[in-house]
Amino acid sequence: MLVGTVEKPWLTEKELKATLSYWLVYLFTLLGIAVSAVRCYFSWTSTLRIGNICPVLEDNFDTFDTEKVWMQEVSMSGFGNNEFEMTTNSPNNSFVRDGRLYIVPTLTSDVIGYNNIFNGYTYNISGCTDTDTSTCGAVSNQTLGTVIPPVMSARIHTREPYVIKYGKVEIIAKLPRGDWLWPALWMLPVNDTYGPWPRSGEIDIMEARGNSPSYQAQGIDYVRGSLNWGPLTWLNGVSKTFGWWTNRRKTFADDFHTYALEWTPKFIRIYVDSRLTYMLTLKFNEPFFKRGQFPSVVANGSQYIQLDDPWASGTPNVAPFDQPFYLIMNVAVGGTNGWFPEGVGDKPWVDASKTAMRDFAEKQDEWYATWPQNIEDRALVVDSVKIWKLC
């Protein structure tokens, strides 16, 4: 027998506020899903895509092919930056081991002795590739302040036909650590179609500084991508076309990373590991002369000359990046072009000094102490290089 009244809440009228709350939750949930879907759609449709690409080169460094694929540059020229290294074809500075390419900076004093770097010694580099023979040797002179470059390193680039005009490049590499090391993966034009550097352009897929993360001008925990272009050496638009990515947990010398370039007649994208971690994305939507906001008249000594657009004859909005480029990989050391800013990190030289290289060499004990003795950590180690062109 039932005692009392049995409650039947499903027969009672629902409270209006509770009903509204119920439906509002579902309404806003569906609205959020719809907005997200629309945003994803427009993000997808607006994403710059490279299109169809065809393979040009894949090198996994089972061997070091210097006959058909890679050219070893042998020079004391300083490469326009007054760098403090000479580049060699010595197996001490570039070699392949266990399926990886190593570009290793070493001390010149290990070859010729420390004192000979500074006074009374002539050194001619073996196998020099420069057409100007004056950059194939050096003489140290205490009175004049000239020295033999205190570091030996390597610089290699792709031979034809491994060049591209639009396409993609992927390089898997681990960077070197050590004060004043300057590893770079970059590209130059095959021909100076628009004139000498920087008129014909430069594509920097990756540049870095080997200094520790405590270095205040972006050390080895930063990598940078950029484009160099301009009508004159001292009018370079790179400040308008560069970017960087930082690794907050580790440095780029701790692990291998993928450094990539995507390049079409519509845009250039430079990134590390994925498109989400990009250093630079640039749409070709205005002429580079206009982008640079260069003056119409410049001083040339005591005269003033009209500054014309050097890219007027090229592809609109794309020139100078509308011509074939080749790939370069190297480890530079120091230099006087400002890559290492003045007054940062106890820099042992002043860019404007006529004895900058000598000043650097005299501090060898200090900066060499920061270079790992283990080649694995001191070298730019390249696991693979892949190049594609637009089909």
Q: Note whether 121 and 112 are within 8 A (CB).
A: yes
Please identify every residue annotated as catalytic.
202, 207
DSSP state of 14: P
Do the Cβ atoms of 389 and 370 come closer than 8 Å? Answer: no
Nearest-5° Cα angle at 218, 213 to 221: 50
Q: What is the CA radius of gyration of the chain?
A: 28
DSSP strand pairing (278-283 vs 267-272): antiparallel
- The residue among 386, 373, 385, 352 whose CA lies nearest residue 100 is 385
Do residues 224 and 208 lie in contact, with contact meaning Cβ atoms separated by under 8 Å?
yes
Rounded CA-CA distance 309/295 in Å is 11
Q: Are 325 and 189 in contact (CB under 8 A)?
A: yes
Residues near 99 by beta carbon (within 8 Å), at least 6 away in sequence? 60, 61, 62, 383
Q: Are 182 and 339 in contact (CB under 8 A)?
A: yes
